[in-house]
Amino acid sequence: MNSLSVRVAVVQAAPRLFDRNSALERIAGSLREAAALGARLVVFPETFVSGYPRGLGFGAKIGSRSQEGRQLWQRHWESAIELPGAETLLIGQAVREAGVYAVIGVVERAAEFSRSTLYNTIAYFGPDGSLLGKHRKLMPTGAERLLWGQGDGSTLTVVDTPFGRIGGLICWENYMPLARMAMYAKGVDILVTPTADARDTWQSTLRHIACEGRCFVLSANQYATAEDYPDDLPGETGPASGEDVCRGGSAIVGPLGDYLAPPLYGESGILYADLDLGEIARSRFDFDAAGHYNRPDIFRLEVDERPKAAVRFTPASGAHLSERQENPE
- Structural domain harbouring 232: 5-303
Q: Is residue 50 part of a domain?
A: yes
Residue 327's alpha-carbon distances to 8, 156, 204, 256, 323, in angstroms, are 41, 19, 40, 42, 6
Task: Give the type of residue at 301.
Answer: L
pLDDT in tens, 172-211: 999 999 999 999 999 999 999 999 999 999 999 999 999 9
The number of residues making up the chain comes to 329
Q: Is residue 148 part of a domain?
A: yes
DSSP 220: -
Residue of 46, 108, 173, 279 marked catalytic: 46
3-state secondary structure of 116: coil
How far apart CA 5 and CA 290 sit, in angstroms, is: 24
Best CA proximity match to 180, nearest among 144, 149, 154, 205: 205
Q: Is residue 296 part of a domain?
A: yes
How far apart CA 146 and CA 153 sit, in angstroms, is: 21
Q: Is residue 325 part of a domain?
A: no
Q: Is residue 15 part of a domain?
A: yes
* pTM, to two decimals: 0.92
Q: Is residue 97 part of a domain?
A: yes
Q: Is residue 324 part of a domain?
A: no
pLDDT in tens, 228-268: 999 988 888 888 888 899 999 999 999 999 999 999 999 99
Residue of 87, 108, 134, 137 marked catalytic: 137
Evaluate whether 191 touches 168 at the Cβ level (below 8 Å): yes
CATH of the domain at 154: 3.60.110.10
The reply to whether 46 belongs to the active site is yes
Number of domains observed in the structure of the chain: 1
pLDDT in tens, 16-49: 999 999 999 999 999 999 999 999 999 999 999 9
Residue 325's alpha-carbon distances to 108, 138, 273, 305, 320, in angstroms, are 27, 22, 49, 17, 10
How far apart CA 298 and CA 296 sit, in angstroms, is: 5
Residue of 87, 108, 171, 246 marked catalytic: 171
Contacts (Cβ under 8 Å, ≥6 apart) of 63: none
- Residue 184: CA count within 13 A, CB half-sphere: 26
pLDDT in tens, 281-316: 999 999 999 999 999 989 999 999 999 875 444 455
Q: Is residue 309 part of a domain?
A: no
